[in-house]
Amino acid sequence: MANDTIDAMEMPPMPAATIAALLAATATTILAELAALDADAGWRPEPGEWSANECVGHLIEAERRGFAGRIRTILAPERPDLPPDLERWDPPAVAEARRDHVRPWRELAAEFSEMRGASLELVRGLEPADLDRVGIHPDVGPLRVDELLGEWVHHDRNHVRQLLAVTQARVWGQMGNARRFSLEDV
């Protein structure tokens, strides 16, 4: 079935099994890129920009505090008719405190792998009724589990793109005249 002409807003939510597969695919990409970068995983392209390690550290914290953490909070109450309050967090402050750019990439890869494995179990174990459960975020209001699942996939891909851009920046200098093949300004 071709879905190229259907507006995404009109499509049904992806099932939890599909979300789990997409989250697993993200993990494969991230772990391969960190391993390939090796010692360069902590390199920052510019002051104030994140290294590959810091992208992964952010994904770890977003999973802990934002996605899996919020889903667990939403599913925890014995009375689903009373939505729990969800906490906000400060990603830049947490990233600064983690100092992932100076940590060994293998340490971050292990932390991410363990967390993602537990998260995949959580997502694969969701029942259809769980997807409609709600928590109340102080800034955006009600959030359903299925909305958090969609945001999780979207968020992962934003930071995979960011992580890959770090690698592109790292090899830019060695490209020499080959930079002319790029759409970027020389």
Q: What is the pLDDT of residue 5?
A: 77
At residue 177, does pLDDT exceed 50? yes
Q: What is the pLDDT of residue 114?
A: 98
Q: Which two tokens stand for residue 117?
A: 């494995």
**Quick one: average pLDDT of 145-160?**
97
100 burial (CB, 10 Å; 0-12 / 13-18 / 19+) is: buried
Question: Could you state, in order of their start, the residue ranges of all structural domains in the chain?
Answer: 13-170
**Quick one: average pLDDT of 165-175?**
95
pLDDT per residue as tens digits for the range 12-69: 899 999 999 999 999 999 999 999 999 999 999 999 999 999 999 999 999 999 999 9
Domain over 13-170 is classified CATH 1.20.120.450:
yes
**In sequence order, which residues have a C-beta less than 8 Å from that of residue 163 and are 6 or more positions away?**
30, 33, 52, 55, 56
pLDDT per residue as tens digits for the range 94-122: 999 999 999 999 999 999 999 999 999 99
Q: Which two tokens stand for residue 140?
A: 């955006």
Cβ–Cβ under 8 Å, residues 178 and 172 = no
| Distance in angstroms (rounded) separating the CA atoms of residues 44 and 24 | 26
**Quick one: average pLDDT of 124-131?**
96
Q: What is the pLDDT of residue 186?
A: 44
Of 99 and 8, the one with more pLDDT: 99
pLDDT bracket for residue 2 (50, 70, 90)? low
Q: What is the pTM of this model?
A: 0.91
